[in-house]
C-alpha cells in the first residue's frame, strides 16, 4: 500500500457540516498527528482565499490553500502558483452569458485578486445572504469593464439545471473555459485547463509528492477530477453520484457526522 503523504479536502459539503462548522478540537489533534507523521494537510476549494482564511481561523496551523478551483495556490502566505482567465476571455464570456436568456443566471460574479465583483443591480437588498461566502464584494455597473486578475467566473442558477448548463457552457466556449457544478445551485467557470486536480498536483510536485501519495476528499462535480487523479479519492456519503463513481472510497459517515475526520483517523492508523 502506498503511504499517504498529503491530504487535500474540499470545504463546503465535505469538511464542513450543514451548519458550516467542523469539530475543531478533534481536527486540531489530527493536525498534530499529521505533522508528526509527515503528512501535509491542504484545503482545496472553489472559494476565494479570504473566505478560506476565515473558515480555518480557529485552527491556524492550516496554512496551505488551493483556492479558486486550483487557480491560486498559497502556502504560509506565499503565492506559489496562479492561473487566470485572460481578461478578453472574461469579458467575452460574461457578455455572451448575459445576452442569452437561456444562460443568464440569477447572479454572476467575477472572483479576482482584489475582490469579488457583482453588478450593482444584482446585489441583494439583504447582503448578509452572501456575506458568508463573499467578504470582499465590489459593486460595479458593468462586469465587462472589470480590470483585475480574474481566477474564476461564478454564477447561480436553479439547482436542478446546473449540470445541463455546465455542459452547455463548455460546449459554447470550447477550449476557453472549464465550467463545473460546485453545489448550492452554483457553477464555477475557470480557465480551460484548470481544475482542482491540476492545482493539487502542482502543489504536490513542489513537495516531491506523487499523485499516488495523495488522499483527496470531495462531494461535488468540481471535486471529480481531483478524486479521480489521486491515489485515494474519497467521496462523501452525501456526495453526488458522479463523484462517487470515480472514488476509491466513500465515507461511512456524511459531512454532518465527521466523515472526513473519520477517514483521516484511518489514514493515520494505516488502515487505508
Over the stretch 63-111, which tens digit does the pLDDT of each residue have?
Answer: 999 999 999 999 999 999 999 999 999 999 999 999 999 899 999 999 9
Q: Binning pLDDT at 50, 70 and 90, where does residue 183 land?
A: confident
Judged by average pLDDT, the poorest of 74-78, 116-120, 128-132, 189-193 is 128-132
Do residues 44 and 16 share a domain? yes
| Boundary of a domain, candidates 134, 169, 191 | 191
Do residues 74 and 120 share a domain? no
In a domain, 1, yes or no: no
Domain count, the chain: 2
Do residues 68 and 199 share a domain? yes
Q: 204-222: per-residue pLDDT in tens?
A: 999 999 999 999 999 999 9
Domain with 115 in it: 87-191
- Residue % of the chain over a pLDDT of 90: 87
Whole-number pLDDT of residue 8? 98
CATH number at residue 125: 3.30.1240.10
- Between 181 and 80, residue with greater pLDDT: 80
- Between 182 and 203, residue with greater pLDDT: 203
Beta strands per DSSP E along the chain: 6-9, 40-44, 64-67, 72-75, 78-82, 107-112, 115-119, 137-140, 150-156, 177-183, 186-191, 214-218, 232-235, 249-250
Whole-number pLDDT of residue 185? 85
Do residues 222 and 205 share a domain? yes
CATH number at residue 232: 3.40.50.1000
Bridge partners of residue 110, in order along the sequence: 117, 153
In a domain, 260, yes or no: yes
- Angle 24-37/259-268 helices, nearest 10 degrees? 30
Q: Binning pLDDT at 50, 70 and 90, where does residue 126 land?
A: low
Whole-number pLDDT of residue 162? 85
| Boundary of a domain, candidates 191, 220, 236 | 191
Interior angle at CA 162, CA 73 and CA 22, nearest 5 = 50
Do residues 181 and 144 share a domain? yes
Q: Binning pLDDT at 50, 70 and 90, where does residue 265 land?
A: very high
Cell numbers placing 1:
500500500
Residues 6+ apart with CB under 8 A from 27: 59, 261
pLDDT of 123 higher than 80? no
**pTM of the prediction?**
0.93
Q: 12-71: per-residue pLDDT in tens?
A: 999 999 999 999 999 999 999 999 999 999 999 999 999 999 999 999 999 999 999 999
Q: How far apart are CA 76 and CA 56, in angstroms?
A: 13
pLDDT of 127 higher than 70? no
Cell numbers placing 67:
483556492
Q: Binning pLDDT at 50, 70 and 90, where does residue 122 land?
A: confident
Amino acid at each position: 500500500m502506498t503511504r499517504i503523504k498529503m491530504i487535500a479536502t474540499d470545504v463546503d459539503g465535505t469538511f464542513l457540516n450543514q451548519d458550516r462548522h467542523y469539530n475543531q478540537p478533534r481536527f486540531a489533534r489530527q493536525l498534530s498527528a499529521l505533522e508528526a507523521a509527515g503528512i501535509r494537510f491542504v484545503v482545496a476549494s472553489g472559494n476565494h482565499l479570504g473566505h478560506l482564511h476565515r473558515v480555518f481561523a480557529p485552527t491556524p496551523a492550516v496554512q496551505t490553500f488551493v483556492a479558486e478551483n486550483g487557480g491560486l495556490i498559497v502556502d504560509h502566505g506565499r503565492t506559489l502558483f496562479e492561473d487566470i482567465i485572460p481578461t478578453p476571455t472574461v469579458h467575452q464570456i460574461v457578455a455572451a452569458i448575459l445576452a442569452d436568456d437561456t444562460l443568464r443566471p440569477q447572479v454572476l460574479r467575477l472572483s479576482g485578486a482584489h475582490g469579488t465583483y457583482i453588478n450593482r443591480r444584482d446585489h441583494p437588498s439583504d447582503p448578509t445572504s452572501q456575506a458568508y461566502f463573499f467578504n470582499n464584494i465590489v459593486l460595479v455597473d458593468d462586469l465587462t469593464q472589470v480590470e483585475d486578475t480574474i481566477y474564476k467566473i461564478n454564477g447561480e442558477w436553479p439547482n436542478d439545471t446546473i449540470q445541463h448548463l455546465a455542459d452547455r457552457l463548455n460546449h459554447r466556449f470550447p477550449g476557453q473555459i472549464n465550467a463545473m457544478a460546485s453545489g448550492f445551485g452554483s457553477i464555477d467557470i475557470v480557465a480551460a485547463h484548470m481544475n482542482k486536480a491540476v492545482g493539487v498536483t502542482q502543489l504536490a510536485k513542489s513537495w516531491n509528492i506523487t499523485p499516488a501519495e495523495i488522499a483527496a476528499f470531495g462531494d461535488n462535480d468540481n471535486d471529480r477530477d481531483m478524486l479521480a487523479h489521486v491515489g485515494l479519492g474519497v467521496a462523501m456519503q452525501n456526495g453526488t453520484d458522479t463523484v462517487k463513481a470515480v472514488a476509491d472510497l466513500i465515507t461511512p459517515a456524511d459531512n454532518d457526522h465527521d466523515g472526513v475526520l473519520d477517514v483521516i483517523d484511518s489514514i493515520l492508523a494505516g488502515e487505508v
